[in-house]
Structure 1
Amino acid sequence: MRTFLTVITLCCATKVVLCALDEPRNARLTSWNMDLVLRWDSPGDPAVHYTAEFNSTVFKFRPGCVNTSALYCDFTDEASSLTVYGTYIGRVRAQRGQESSVWVESGPLTLDKNTTIGPPNVTLVSHGVHMTINIRDPVFRISKMREVYNQASYNITYWKEGKEGKAQSLIVQQNPVVLSDLEPLSRYCVKVHISLQHNHRAGDESRVTCEKTADRERTPWLEAVLSFVVMVMVVTVVVVAVLYRKRLSSFLCPSVSLPQHFKENVFVNKCFSF
């Protein structure tokens, strides 16, 4: 009798194993600009849905996505549960009706150590043979880049268009950056990425941005200043003329009455002239 029950139990257990859903594959946590996303590969059944959870060293697993058909789950919306220095683990399982697969866990991920820093935004402004590089840091989903990495540097690569093989590089922390004494009437290209010196990590590169320098003799900023000064002077003269027009009129065209004997002499002279 005992042997019979054992056989029945084994058969049932075998049936459960055979009927269990295949679990998702290759579960991994990723982070880009301080987001937290669990990704996985399909077990091959297009009819299944997924439930994903995450935990940290300070709280147990909590749900992030329930009954989703996507092959990822973004936990960043749970921002109140995340910190930039936290370490997290994700897990996911497949579901179809009342059936569920086993949980599949990812490896741990620490946001400030493992996130990929996205590309900065770069704009160029030409001033004669000088070029100003304006850099805007990437936007983080949690916190701000300078609050997390206050020693981050800008790795700048620039070259004359068509001569990328002779590109020059510089690493700076200030912003903006001025490239001086470039060749006049030449087009220069620039790309930038964020660099973390303490752990030798590099962020994604910006798109290549190009701008043409002006003639060495031309100084557009000086022309602009002179134009502004002339405009201010003209406006000032017009305003003064309007406000003090009566006084100016009296000064330039005084209304002086001639003496009586002078008027008589003028009258007599006119008469004799006839």
Structure 2
Amino acid sequence: MPCRAPLLSLVLLSLLFFLLVGSVRASGTESFLRLPAPKNVTVYSYNFHSLLRWSPVEVNRGLVLYTVHFKTGFLNEWDEMNCTRITQTECNISWSLRKRRWTVFLRVRAELGQATSDWVETDPFVAERNTTIGPPKVNSVTESSDSLLIRVTPPFGSEAGYFPEYYVSYWENATSTIKREIKLSNTLFKIENLKELTLYCFSIQVVLKVYPDLQLLGLPSVPECYRTTVSEATKAGYLSLILISVLLFVTLATVGLFHLWRHRKAIKYWFQPPLEIPSHFEEYLKDPSVPALEELDNHPEDDPHDSLSVISHGDGSQASGSSLDGQARSHSISSDSEVT
């Protein structure tokens, strides 16, 4: 009996050792088969086009694949989608949302060989409640004198039971703060009662009525500006005004030229400088007894002339006569110059 006690203790210790080694190996194998879970798992939905996105799982060995499952609020069973063992970090889930009113749950996990991660589930998603409606596309705008005719395309495809409407805001110019709003249900509509030759800007939003007490308001479109045209009546008024102005100008020009020709003598007299009689002639004409002309002739000192003397060695009388003749001719020459 004393010998059996140590042997029994040895067996118990060996068994405990093997149990410890097995648990360590099991935990090591389990940790090797477990991957980090994907993070930032989010549903992005724009115009009912929905994607499930997540951040990539980074490991040092091999290529990580991903698998996505979904279930609805009617059936509490997870089912596979077209996103099984994919390399992308997003999954298009639009095809599975056959009804936009379905409540959908999604989950995703990472896979690498036999190793997997934990499932990461999303919050409940309802497309017609959680999607973002974009602005409609403006196809054409036709301007007239008092309206803008606009044709748009909805941002999403038609589906039975949905009747999108269009919420239009417009204002008179790019700086005006006064906006007017209308609500329309057709893709071709007209903004009426506008001023001619005026710049108008508009922005359009889609309004989707989901329930009687719930509607989705889409994002507004980028403002677009167009100028209204001139009306036919205004064009006719402008042409009439121009024609009247031309006729008035021609009439006034004709009348002016006629008056110039008719009063040409008076105009010539007005523009010709008056003739004035010299003052000494005027005094003489008023009183002929005034010796005005004689006084002009009786100023020999004012008449510059030269005396010419002829000296000859001949007869003195001839020399004297020549001198007198010269003086007489000089005097007559000076007199002629005064008269002239």
TM-score, normalization: structure 1? Answer: 0.66
Corresponding position of 1:136: 153
Letter in 2 for 1:63: M
Confirm or deny: 8 A CA contact 1:28 1:90 kept in the other structure: no
Corresponding position of 2:312: none
Counterpart CA distance in 2 for 1:115 and 1:24 is 23
Structure 1 residue corresponding to 2:141, chosen from 116, 124, 139: 124
Counterpart CA distance in 1 for 2:58 and 2:234 is 65
**1:119 and 1:66, CA in 2 relative to 1: closer, same or farther beyond 3 A?**
same
State which structure, 1 or 2, has the greater radius of gyration over its C-alpha atoms: 2
Structure with larger RCO (C-alpha < 8 A, sep 6+): 1
Does residue 130 of structure 2 align to residue 114 of structure 1?
A: yes
The within-5 A match list for 1:39-188 is: 39-45=53-59, 47-56=63-72, 57-58=74-75, 60-78=78-96, 82-122=98-138, 123-140=140-157, 144-145=158-159, 147-150=160-163, 152-188=164-200
**1:75 and 1:174, CA in 2 relative to 1: closer, same or farther beyond 3 A?**
closer
TM-score, normalization: structure 2? Answer: 0.54
Q: Which runs of 5 or more residues in structure 2 are unaligned? A: 1-14, 236-340
Q: Which runs of 5 or more residues in structure 1 are unaligned? A: 221-274
Three-state SS of the structure 2 residue aligned to 1:88 is strand
Deviations, residues 173-216 of structure 1 (Å, cap 9, x unaligned): 34433222323222322221112463243112223333221013
Confirm or deny: 8 A CA contact 2:50 2:94 kept in the other structure: yes
Does residue 44 of structure 2 align to residue 30 of structure 1?
A: yes
State the 1:92 CA deviation.
Answer: 1.0
**1:219 and 1:52, CA in 2 relative to 1: closer, same or farther beyond 3 A?**
farther
State the 1:116 CA deviation.
Answer: 2.2
Counterpart CA distance in 1 for 2:41 and 2:223 is 34
The within-5 A match list for 1:168-247 is: 168-196=180-208, 198-217=213-232
Structure in which a larger fraction of residues adopt helix:
2
Confirm or deny: 8 A CA contact 1:84 1:148 kept in the other structure: no
The alignment yields a C-alpha RMSD, in angstroms, of 3.0
Confirm or deny: 8 A CA contact 1:112 1:148 kept in the other structure: no
Confirm or deny: 8 A CA contact 1:84 1:112 kept in the other structure: yes
Matched pairs, number:
213
Percent sequence identity is 25
